[in-house]
Amino acid sequence: MRRTDKFPVEGPNSLWQMYRTISPWKAVRNFVFIQLSRYVPYLPLKRWIYRRVLGMKVGEHASFALMVMVDVFFPEKIEVGSNTIIGYNSTILTHEYLIKEYRLGPVVIGSHVMIGANTTILPGVTIGDHAVVGAGSVVHKDVAPYSFVAGNPLRVIREDVRKETADVPDKDEMG
Whether pLDDT at 45 is above 50: yes
Taking only the tens place, the pLDDT of each residue in 76-85 is 999 999 999 9
pLDDT computed for residue 144 by the predictor: 98
pLDDT computed for residue 168 by the predictor: 47
Spatial strand order in the sheet of 5-8: 5-8, 101-104, 95-97
Q: 88, 66 in Cβ contact below 8 A?
A: yes
Domains along the sequence of the chain with CATH: 5-166 (2.160.10.10)
pLDDT computed for residue 163 by the predictor: 79
Cα(47)–Cα(54) distance, rounded to whole angstroms?
Answer: 10
pLDDT computed for residue 170 by the predictor: 52
Per-residue pLDDT band for 1 (boundaries 50, 70, 90) equals confident
Cα(119)–Cα(105) distance, rounded to whole angstroms?
Answer: 18
Q: Which amino acid is at 82?
A: S
What mean pLDDT, rounded, does the chain reach?
93
Whether pLDDT at 175 is above 60: no
Per-residue pLDDT band for 109 (boundaries 50, 70, 90) equals very high
Residue 3, CB-side half-sphere exposure with 13 Å CA sphere? 8
pLDDT computed for residue 166 by the predictor: 52
Q: Which amino acid is at 142?
A: D
Measured between alpha carbons, how far is residue 52 from residues 10, 41, 46, 56 in Å? 35, 18, 10, 8
DSSP-assigned letter for residue 143: B
| For residues 124-140, average pLDDT | 98
Cα(15)–Cα(46) distance, rounded to whole angstroms?
Answer: 28
Greatest CA separation for the chain? 72
pLDDT computed for residue 165 by the predictor: 57
Cα(107)–Cα(156) distance, rounded to whole angstroms?
Answer: 19
Whether pLDDT at 63 is above 50: yes
